[in-house]
Amino acid sequence: MTSLGKQLRLARNSKGKSLEDISRDTNISKYYLEALENDEYDLLPGSAYVKGFLSNYARCVGLDPKVVVEKYNKLAGLNELLEGGTYNNKPLKNKTRRVIRRRVFMLLFALVLLIFCLVLLLQMRSS
């Protein structure tokens, strides 16, 4: 079974088109087209962009866009199961975890500070 990127490259070569031609026809940067052909989806902005790029690329080289996007969806779903997260947003997921941990820490710190102030206030009133 050929990879999705290899399938796109083969279709492009069979049409006699260069990456520059595809870039000009689809208004997708050559960098992103290379990432698609190399199956490096993590270099692309996000899943919605990947699907749009794949659809436009497929249409430009004579492939069925729906079939290509469905193949990507299956691939992305498999990677999500294997990695326990979203394939294209893995770095974002790690960043999100750090932000959540930081917010929980700050919330706990604020709660401890509030309890300390309340205890101090109660001791001052009772004396």
Q: What is the mean pLDDT of residues 4-27?
A: 95
Distance separating alpha carbons of residues 94 and 46, to the nearest angstrom? 15
Question: Which tens digits make up the pLDDT trace of 64-110?
Answer: 999 999 899 888 775 554 455 544 445 545 666 777 888 899 999 99
Name the pLDDT band for 2 (thresholds 50, 70, 90).
confident
Whether the CB-CB separation of 40 and 72 falls below 8 Å is answered with no
Give me the pLDDT at residue 100, please: 80
Q: How far apart are CA 54 and CA 8, in angstroms?
A: 9
Q: How far apart are CA 106 and CA 69, in angstroms?
A: 42
Stretch 41-56: mean pLDDT, rounded?
Answer: 90
- pTM: predicted TM-score of the whole model, two decimal places: 0.61
Residue 62 has pLDDT above 90, yes or no: yes
Question: For the chain, what are the domain ranges?
Answer: 4-83, 89-127
Predicted local distance difference test score (pLDDT) of residue 87: 44
- Fold (CATH) for 4-83: 434 Repressor (Amino-terminal Domain) (1.10.260)
Q: What is the rounded CA–CA span in Å between residue 98 and residue 125? A: 41
